[in-house]
């Protein structure tokens, strides 16, 4: 997995050896993005009133490194910066830690020959005032390689113009949960699955751009837009117009809203309607709505004519951070959730953050449960960010939403890429789901939202893990506190323990009657264990429902 990124604080850092293009790329991105550019070497020269060469000659390199650290300390709390650092900035571990707190670090690279060509005419390179500067460059590059490897991204600039190097940086930042806060939208998170790879697009107003993002292979290609009857006017018509504008031949299919539509019967009706309307294997399904619509439409796409391409356009927080990513599509049976399904990766996932502005409070809270889950299993820093910023998130603060969506999608994408068919490690995403799904299924008339059930499940399963000495007590305390703050403490009255136990026994995560349960030893880490039995979880269920 990539480096677990820290919460956003507002800077993009360009570092690397002299002559790799840091300052020129920073200036170009600054003009394009409207951000302030800071060059640490220039700041030092201005504050000291001497050139870098003079500082090296009169005070020595270590004094210069002290000045670099002082400059970073001054910049640490500023926002909206593109910082170009001196070539040796990463040599000090303390500097690296300061930079990581500020934002993603991009290291620009070039060969010794390229650097020599670019710096030959400069008198401001004190480290190259040697008889054989190219040999000196090669030696310094070798000495600094380990330091430069600490950067989050690495871009070779030998064959790139300044414009091309700037675009390479921009591409990396659009896919970075911190960098995306400063880079222009849309954010683009890649899901690396070989031939099944796709991109998650995140930004404002993307419903109107679905057609451009998911363009037809040729004009007149058939598009089946599946949504629920509450969203036809609100979102379905907007997406349909976007698709038609670029040449899709669109037919809209609406199903009744609610989990009750996620059945084999409804899937069969949709397949019959597609057949009657003349859809064929070149057609594409567009799922516009929450998790129910995405699961149902994706299942139809997986089975109709043995598989159609489909595009996820999730409109709820829960669907955006979880259900739409990963290619798990399914319908429910009366006995348990998602028992009939397939792995069918989408062609693209398109997330319009504007849909969250009018999302009902309960649905927003339901999505927060999966956000908390991803932080608990993969990123302690994001968990801390949620503890400090949950109120801003609940108020739909655009910066918080953008970061949380991007980081959650990145976590999910990394897990999916490592285990696309849930043969092993992907099961970590089921943290809280064994008890949660049982409660959700047994609750009268689906009285619990998915997020409410999973929130209860995370705490209950973690309590069992603490009893088995598999988790630290702090895990339960922090989870319960954050879940309570998020308004995820539902009334469990009326849930039949026996029915919940039956639903748990039918859980699809059981293999050969055995359970591999994800537990969180400490916030930000997750392991799969077979040391917790189904009987332990049934006992926890009974305690919950007493």
Please give the order of strands across the beta sheet that includes 105-109.
Answer: 36-39, 81-84, 11-16, 105-109, 153-156
Q: Is residue 328 annotated as a catalytic residue, yes or no?
A: yes
DSSP string covering 363-401, please? HHHHHHHHHHHHHHHH-HHHHHHHHHHHHHHHTT-HHHH
Residue 88 φ/ψ, nearest 5 degrees: -105, 15
Place of tokens 């305690």: 543
CA distance 360 to 506: 32
SS3 of residue 215 by DSSP = coil
Q: Is residue 421 annotated as a catalytic residue, yes or no?
A: no
- Kindly name the residue from 174, 337, 426, 478 that is annotated as catalytic: 426
Q: Is residue 480 annotated as a catalytic residue, yes or no?
A: no
Q: Is residue 309 annotated as a catalytic residue, yes or no?
A: no
b (16+ CB within 10 A) / e for 186-215: bbbbebeeeeeebbbbbbeebbebbbebbe
CA distance 3 to 205: 30
Within 10 Å of residue 159's Cβ, how many Cβ atoms?
9
What does the block give as tokens for 44?
A: 């030092």
- Kindly name the residue from 262, 373, 450, 538 that is annotated as catalytic: 450
- Kindly name the residue from 100, 125, 344, 437 that is annotated as catalytic: 437
Q: Is residue 276 annotated as a catalytic residue, yes or no?
A: no
Residue 271: exposed, middle, or buried by beta-carbon count in 10 A (0-12, 13-18, 19+)? Answer: middle
- Kindly name the residue from 430, 440, 441, 478 that is annotated as catalytic: 430
Q: Is residue 433 annotated as a catalytic residue, yes or no?
A: yes
- Kindly name the residue from 125, 433, 441, 478 that is annotated as catalytic: 433
- Kindly name the residue from 370, 440, 452, 463 that is annotated as catalytic: 370
Q: Contact at 8 Å (CB) between 106 and 156?
A: no
Q: How many CA atoms lie within 13 A of 415 on its CB side?
A: 26
CA distance 347 to 283: 12
Which residue, 184, 226, 189, is CA-closest to 205?
A: 184
CA distances from 438 to 206, 443, 446, 512 (A): 36, 9, 11, 19
Q: Contact at 8 Å (CB) between 436 and 458?
A: yes
- Kindly name the residue from 188, 259, 422, 452 that is annotated as catalytic: 422
- Kindly name the residue from 219, 306, 395, 511 that is annotated as catalytic: 306
What is the dihedral sign for C-alpha 151, 156, 158, 159?
negative
CA distance 398 to 331: 33
CA distance 28 to 342: 46
The strand pairing partners of 108, in sequence order, are 16, 155
- Kindly name the residue from 6, 109, 222, 328 that is annotated as catalytic: 328
Q: Is residue 163 annotated as a catalytic residue, yes or no?
A: no
The strand pairing partners of 350, in sequence order, are 201
What does the block give as tokens for 533?
A: 């039995």
Q: Contact at 8 Å (CB) between 49 and 12?
A: no
Q: Is residue 93 annotated as a catalytic residue, yes or no?
A: no
CA distances from 297 to 54, 151, 309, 543 (A): 67, 41, 11, 37
Catalytic positions are: 306, 328, 370, 412, 422, 426, 430, 433, 437, 450
């Amino acid at each position: 997995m990539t480096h677990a990124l820290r919460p956003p604080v507002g800077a993009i850092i360009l570092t690397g050896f002299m002559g790799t293009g840091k300052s020129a790329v920073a200036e170009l991105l600054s003009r394009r993005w409207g951000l302030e550019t800071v060059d640490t070497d220039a700041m030092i020269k201005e504050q000291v009133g001497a050139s870098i060469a003079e500082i090296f000659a009169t005070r020595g390199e270590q004094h210069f490194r002290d000045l670099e650290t002082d400059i970073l300390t001054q910049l640490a709390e500023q926002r909206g910066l593109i910082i170009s650092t001196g070539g040796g900035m990463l040599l000090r571990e303390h500097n690296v830690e300061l930079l990581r707190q500020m934002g993603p670090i991009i290291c620009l690279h070039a060969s010794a020959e390229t650097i020599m060509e670019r710096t030959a005419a400069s008198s401001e390179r004190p480290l190259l005032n040697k008889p054989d500067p190219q040999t000196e460059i090669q030696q310094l590059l070798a000495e600094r390689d380990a330091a430069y490897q600490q950067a989050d991204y690495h871009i070779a600039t030998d064959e790139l113009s300044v414009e091309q190097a700037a675009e390479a940086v921009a591409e990396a930042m659009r896919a970075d949960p911190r960098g995306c806060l400063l880079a222009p939208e849309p954010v683009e998170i890649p899901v690396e699955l070989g031939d099944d790879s796709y991109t998650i697009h995140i930004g404002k107003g993307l419903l109107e751009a679905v057609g451009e993002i998911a363009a037809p292979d040729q004009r007149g290609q058939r598009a089946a837009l599946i949504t629920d009857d509450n969203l036809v006017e609100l979102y379905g018509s907007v997406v349909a117009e976007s698709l038609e504008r670029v040449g899709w031949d669109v037919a809209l299919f609406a199903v009744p809203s609610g989990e009750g539509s996620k059945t084999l019967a409804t899937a069969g009706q949709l397949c019959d309607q597609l057949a009657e309307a003349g859809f064929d294997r070149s057609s594409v399904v567009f799922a516009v709505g929450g998790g129910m619509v995405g699961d149902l439409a994706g299942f139809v796409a997986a089975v109709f004519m043995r598989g159609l391409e489909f595009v996820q356009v999730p409109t709820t927080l829960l669907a955006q951070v979880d259900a739409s990513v990963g290619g798990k599509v399914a319908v429910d049976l009366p006995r348990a959730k998602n028992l009939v399904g397939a792995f069918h990766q989408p062609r693209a996932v398109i997330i319009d953050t504007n849909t969250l502005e009018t999302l009902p409070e309960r649905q927003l809270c339901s999505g927060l449960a999966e956000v908390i889950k991803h932080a608990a299993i993969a990123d302690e820093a994001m968990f801390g960010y949620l503890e400090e910023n949950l109120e801003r998130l609940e108020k739909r603060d655009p910066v918080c939403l953008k970061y949380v969506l991007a980081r959650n999608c990145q976590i999910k994408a990394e897990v999916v890429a490592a285990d696309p068919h849930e043969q092993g490690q992907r099961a970590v995403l089921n943290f809280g789901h064994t008890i949660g799904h049982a409660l959700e299924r047994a609750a009268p008339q689906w009285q619990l939202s998915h997020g409410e059930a999973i929130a209860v499940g995370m705490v209950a399963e973690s309590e069992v893990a603490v009893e088995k000495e598999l988790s630290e007590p702090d895990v339960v305390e922090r989870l319960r506190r954050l879940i309570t703050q998020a308004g995820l403490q539902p009334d469990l009255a009326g849930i039949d323990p026996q029915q919940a136990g039956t639903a748990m026994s039918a859980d699809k995560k059981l293999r050969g009657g055995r359970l591999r349960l994800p537990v969180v030893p400490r916030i930000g880490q997750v392991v799969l264990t077979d040391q917790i039995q189904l009987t332990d979880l049934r006992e926890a269920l009974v305690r919950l429902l007493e």
